[in-house]
Each structure stands twice: as C-alpha cells, then as structure tokens.
Amino acid sequence: MNHETQTATVILTPVTSNPPNEENLTFWQATPAGNITLQITNPQASSQFSVGTSYYVDFTTA
C-alpha cells in the first residue's frame, strides 16, 4: 500500500501446490503462467485481498 496515494497493487498469479491437486493440474495444462495486476485506490476494496490467499477469477463478457 502506498500510503501517500492510498493505492494498493494486487498481483494474482496461477496457483500451484506441492504436490499439485487435480484442480491445479487441470488449470496448469491450459494456463501454466501469467498474472493479473490491479491498482486499487479504494481501501475497502483492497482490504478484500490477503497475501497467500487463493482466489477464483471468473471472466464474464460485458
């Protein structure tokens, strides 16, 4: 969190586990690498993310 601008940067990367579980193996076969980077200026929104926590990301056509 940049306290001067109240901007948080959240970087999401594909989940891997050791040993990998079935869900992670299926995802990994299609998308072995990548990231989503968010810059969030709303502290209530950025507080929804915690380091080390896994999140599902769904894309819906707008």
Q: What is the pLDDT of residues 37-52, one digit of tens each?
A: 999 999 999 999 999 8
Whether 35 is in a domain gets the answer yes
Whether 19 is in a domain gets the answer yes
Which three-class secondary structure state does DSSP give residue 4? coil
pLDDT in tens, the chain (62 residues): 666 778 999 999 887 777 778 888 887 788 778 899 999 999 999 999 999 898 989 899 99
Number of domains in the chain: 1
Range of the domain at 22: 8-46
pLDDT computed for residue 20 by the predictor: 74
Helix or strand run (H / E) with residue 25: helix 22-30
Whether 1 is in a domain gets the answer no
Whether 56 is in a domain gets the answer no
Encoded amino acid at 50, one letter? S
CB 49 within 8 A of CB 13: no
